[in-house]
Structures are given as structure tokens and as C-alpha cells.
Amino acid sequence: MATTPTKNSPNKNQPAKSTTPATAAKPAAKKPAGPARVNSSNIGLWLIGASVAIVAIVVAIIIFNENQARSAPVAQPDVPAEWINRNVVGSPDAKVVVQLWEDFLCPSCQSFAATVKPQLLENYVKTGKVRVEYHYFPLAQHDPGATMTALAAECAADQGMFWPYHDRVFQMTRSEQQGAAQFDDLVGYAADMGMDQNQFRTCLSSQQHRDTVSASLAQAQQLQLQFTPSIIVGDTLMQDYSYPSVSGEIERQLAQAAG
């Protein structure tokens, strides 16, 4: 006969209460540690160091290139001597005349002298097809150096050294601007080329060719030239004075002259 469970008798249908004392809950298991974080300050220092190194390399390359340009040899154009007349070079019978209106302290003129002019001399002047004329166009914002270098170039022309001196001044002013256009520097360039230093110094200190430079500037203003370099091929003022553009116009005029 089944007995009725009492309060003190365990109910078989319910789990029996544990008689062991309660224990503290076990701490949750730690998650596996992920990859260690890289210290952001270390990354910053590394980036700064890398940037400084890159800048130093770029500066070193620029200085090396400038020193190479400044030490590059200069010489008379490789044409018959009778084709050189002060600031004009080329055959008297050339079918096309190219006028260069420049300022020795103009950065674009410096670039033109270093890249475009040599190609014109090599491909057109040496072959007798083109005659090149240099004209002074010193800009007020580049004075006193712009006018001083123009006067110095005329003094070099007195000794038959216009074109080598032209190249040397552009080499030096390209990196130093006004710093390369000081009186003693301009005399020094002439002396380094073997010119008569005393004659050159007297010519420059007395500004012997002031009228020539002033007349050239007045002519540029009369032509309403607005920028340097102003390159005129025949009677065409070039808006683009890159070599492909200038040579293209030369070829057009040569073809026209040939009929």
C-alpha cells in the first residue's frame, strides 16, 4: 500500500537537495589572447624616421644634380666661327630666324636654356637652317640681378664669349638666383673662362652697355611681349615654347620657304 509522503520524507519525483556547503562560483574562463597590439607611438616614430630619410635622399639628389649642372663644361657653339656674331649664332643665309627674349633670372628661361636651346643648336643651327638671336628682356621683379647679368653678357660678347658666358650664367642662376648675379661672381665667371678679367671688370663696373640693354628692353615693350621667355620663330610668337612646338613651327616655315 502506497504511503503518502510527509514533509520530512523526500519526494522521489524531485531532485534531492544537496547537503554539501555552497561554494563560490568559478571565475569565467579567460578568452585566448589575440595578437599583441603594436604600439602606435612606435609606428609614428617609424613613419617620421622614414619620411626624414626620404626627404634627405631627395635633397641629396637635387643638390647632386645642381652641382652637376653648375660644373658642366661650357663652350662656343659647334659652328663655323664666322657664324658667331656677339649674341647671334647661325648661318647668315639661314631661312628661319629664332629670337630668344629672355631674363637670366627667369626660371622658365633657365629651363629653356638647359633643355630646348641645345636641341635647336644641334638640329637646326649646325645644319645652317636656323639663325638664333638672343635679346635682353630683364624683368623689374628680377632686378638688380636681371640687368646686371645682361650687362655682364654684353661684356663677355666684347671678348667673343657671349654664348659660353650665357650658358654659365644660366647654370649658376638656376640654383642660386640673385646669389649668383653678384658683381664679383659675374667677374669670376669671366675669369674662369680665360677672359681678360680687368677688361671685363671695367666694362661691368662702368655699365658700358647700359644703352644696349635698355634699348633691348624698350624693343620688347614695343613688341608688347608679356612673358619670358618670349620665343619668336620668324614672325610667330610662340605660346608654347617646348621643343616639339618650336621645332614644329620651324619645320612649317622651312617647308614654306622651300616652296
Spatial separation of the C-alpha atoms in residues 211 and 209, rounded to whole Å: 5
pLDDT, tens digit, for every residue of 100-127? 999 999 999 999 999 999 999 999 999 9
Q: Cell 608679356, residue?
A: 226
What is the per-residue pLDDT for 48? 81
- Tell whether 30 is covered by a domain: no
What pLDDT digit, counting tens, does each position of 179-233 carry? 999 999 999 999 999 999 999 999 999 999 999 999 999 999 999 999 999 999 9
Compute the distance between CA of residue 154 and CA of residue 136 in angstroms, rounded to an integer: 10
What CATH number does the domain containing 138 carry? 3.40.30.10
Confidence at residue 60, expressed as pLDDT on a 0 to 100 scale: 44
Q: What pLDDT score was predicted for residue 29?
A: 53
**Per the domain annotation, does 101 fall within a domain?**
yes
> How many structural domains does the chain have?
1
Residue 12 pLDDT > 50: no
Is position 53 within any domain?
Answer: no
Q: What whole-number percentage of the chain has pLDDT above 90?
A: 69
Structural domain includes residue 44: no
For residues 76 and 106, what is the distance between their CA atoms, to the nearest angstrom? 23
Q: Is residue 20 part of a domain?
A: no
Contact 140, 151 (CB under 8 A): no
Percent of the chain with pLDDT over 70: 77
Residue 211 lies in a domain: yes
Domain around 248: 71-258
Question: Would you say residue 148 lies in a domain?
Answer: yes
Residue position matching grid coordinates 658642366: 72
Using the predicted structure, report yes or no on whether residue 128 has a pLDDT greater than 50. Answer: yes
In whole angstroms, what separates CA 100 from the centre of its chain? Answer: 20
The Cα 259–Cα 239 span in angstroms is 26
Write out pLDDT tens, residues 158-185.
Answer: 999 999 999 999 999 988 889 999 999 9
Domain for residue 81, yes or no? yes
The closest of 169, 161, 109, 98 to 133, measured between CA atoms, is 98
What per-residue confidence (pLDDT) applies to 24?
47
C-alpha span between 182 and 216 (Å, rounded): 22
